[in-house]
Amino acid sequence: MKRNILILFILGLVSLAIILWTQRDLDQYPLNIDSGYTQENLDSVYSLFDLGVADINQDTYLDVYSTNHNARQIFDINQQGKGFENQIYDLGFPQNYEVTEQPVSDLLLNRKDPGLYIYWHNYQLTIAAQNLSNPEDFGGLVIVPLSATPVTSGDLSIKINDTNALSGGLDKVRLVNFRIKGNGRLSIAFPASYPFFPPFFKLNSESDLTQVYIDSKFGSPPFHDFALPPINALPHMDRHGMAWNDYDNDGNLDVVIVRGGMVGKMPELAPNATDELMLQTRSGFEDIAEQVGLEKQGCAARQVAWVDFDQDNLLDLYTMCGRHWPPNSLQANQLYRQISEGRFIDLAQEKNLAMSDMGWFVWLDIDNDRDMDLFWADETTFWLYRNQAGTFVAEELGQEESSVNQLAIADYDNDGDLDLFAASRKGSVLFTNNQGEYIATDPESIGLPSRAFAANWVDYDNDGLTDLYTLRYGMYRQRPNHTFEKIDLLQVNSPKTFGGYAYCTWFDADNDGDRDLLIGKSEEMSWWEKQQKKAEDIAELSKSSKSKVLLYRNPGNENHWLQIELKGAAGNTVAIGGKVKVITENGTQFQQVGQADGAWRSQGHYRLYFGLGQQDKVESIQVTWPNGKTQDIPNPEIDKLLIIQQV
């Protein structure tokens, strides 16, 4: 009997070990790579909001960037196809307080002056008394979130009182009264879900403010009552969408970054907050947003894109501002038209694009009339805002089953106009373009999935037919009759290990002619970690979770290919709105600049990708520039990246 019990116990341990090891393997390799793709771990980031690609240093190798609310971003610069290196600091791009794997050195280690020091250290609010001659004068009160955890050491004591909050979006707060009798320290650990909460201080009136040092620069506060800037906002950044473009025509890519509403606290924490227009210079990035008239006006921004909506060859900016609840729901979308001397003026109301709902958008020329139209999906309805001489007329396209996650455009059926896939976790929709009119189609009617976390159109095998890649379900390969079949390629290995947010985009990471897959995936806690935490702790931690950035390199095949980048005239050197036709014996492929961009809320991937299959010759390339002028290139070389300069 005992022997049988022992055997069962051993078998149970072995089974548990197998389960844990299998989950570890699935976490390490979230996608199926049996088809020859190789996985590379590019980076780990916190609070991932968006992931995209752009040629940041203009060396023809595409780089990877992220936005991360207030955590460290990545500018993973492509090392000539042989790997990536995060050079965000080398490029001089300003960052917030950096979340790191290893503890940061205590800022007080190099300070010897007597005083009361108040600062952030490793995500803890630190109040340290050091060598004060009259320490009893330096007590006071600090207001922190209810779930903040204080710990004391040395000659410092506290008394805690939880009470109703007066403002700040919280029901209750914690009052921590501290008394100082000598050298001592108070460390208050902040919960992950309060990155924007500024601790409020009320020091004793007897405190000598010249001996009080606050923040990382250790300046003295002007008053005994003050607020320390929040841990994740030095200053309050909350970076969301990014849009890349050579704004000043100097050959370097500049970038607009739009910032969110700071969890509804922007009016309190940063009433003068602005978005950013960063010019890339030899010494770093310089923000000129205020100088050129980009006024935030309370916009809790998420998505942004450059577009030349009025065909004056100056790129304008469109920003999505709407949210669910006040005050962030009060600001309508912005359409900043670029005018003389590079300045901007908001014309969204005048042009009928001042929607105030939460939504997604993509710019495209739906009817090939050489002006850019706006596809807009709010939380209930699909809309087309058709460009009529620079003013937009709304056309309702139908109701949504649920909010979309991503919009992807391509001429998948090779009929010369752009179709659209609206990816949704509950009910995706395919919009087929019929001579400038969108027809809503059930994706399953042609073999595409009815649900998707995210979706990208991509000719992954360069056979000249555009396929659709989705998370979680993998690749849907297009047949010659423009229907699709699901194949066993890069699908999620186990849905149970693939929770949280996921991002995906395809680009040629090594300029070898085939496109590789980039994904950002939130890291789930292991089963064992979840057992150690309460449900509310797990929900709290997920709001600033850690994510992996993974690259899946395409093994390629023998099919021919052609990649094209357009270099437009000054004012729109990235040629947004430009179109290209590649003509071979098998027919014509049509693409619009920017359609390869798979970023969630950002813009910067302007390369065009044409698979040629077994065709070893291209008869001609026909370029329609954003200003409507055309340019033909007969008999171009193939199997290369071709850069076409506007004549």
Q: What is the pLDDT of residues 358-411, one digit of tens each?
A: 999 999 999 999 999 999 999 999 999 999 999 999 999 999 887 899 999 999
Chain CA centroid to CA 158, Å: 41
Instruction: Write the CATH number for 623.
Output: 2.60.40
- Express each pLDDT in 601-646 by its tens digit: 999 999 999 999 999 999 999 999 999 999 999 999 999 999 999 9
Residue type, 395: E
Render 111-169 in DSSP notation, one character per residue.
--S-EEEEEEETTEEEEEEES-SSGGGG-EEEEEETT-EEEEEEEEEEEEEEEE-SSTT
Residue 91 lies in a domain: yes
Please check whether residues 346 and 266 belong to one and the same domain: yes
pLDDT at position 194, please? 59
Q: What stretch of H or E contains 307?
A: strand 303-307
| 0.75 exceeded by pTM | yes
Residue 488 lies in a domain: yes
The domain boundary, picked from 530, 553, 576, lies at 553
- Sign of the alpha-carbon torsion through 458, 461, 465, 468: negative
Domain count, the chain: 3
pLDDT at position 104, please? 53
Residue 19 lies in a domain: no
Burial of 268 (0-12, 13-18, 19+ CB in 10 A): middle
Please check whether residues 288 and 334 belong to one and the same domain: yes
Q: Which residues of the chain have pLDDT under 50?
A: 15-26, 97-103, 167-169, 232-235, 525-544
Only one residue has tokens 């205590």, namely: 106
- Express each pLDDT in 223-245 by its tens digit: 999 988 765 444 457 899 999 99
pLDDT at position 27, please? 56
DSSP one-letter code for 5: H
Domain holding 43, by residue range, is 31-96+234-553
Instruction: Write the CATH number for 279.
Output: 2.130.10.10
Please check whether residues 190 and 129 belong to one and the same domain: yes
pLDDT at position 536, please? 41
pLDDT at position 320, please? 96
Please check whether residues 209 and 270 belong to one and the same domain: no
Three-class DSSP category at 529: helix
The domain boundary, picked from 553, 570, 597, lies at 553
pLDDT at position 16, please? 47
pLDDT at position 32, please? 87
Please check whether residues 304 and 249 belong to one and the same domain: yes
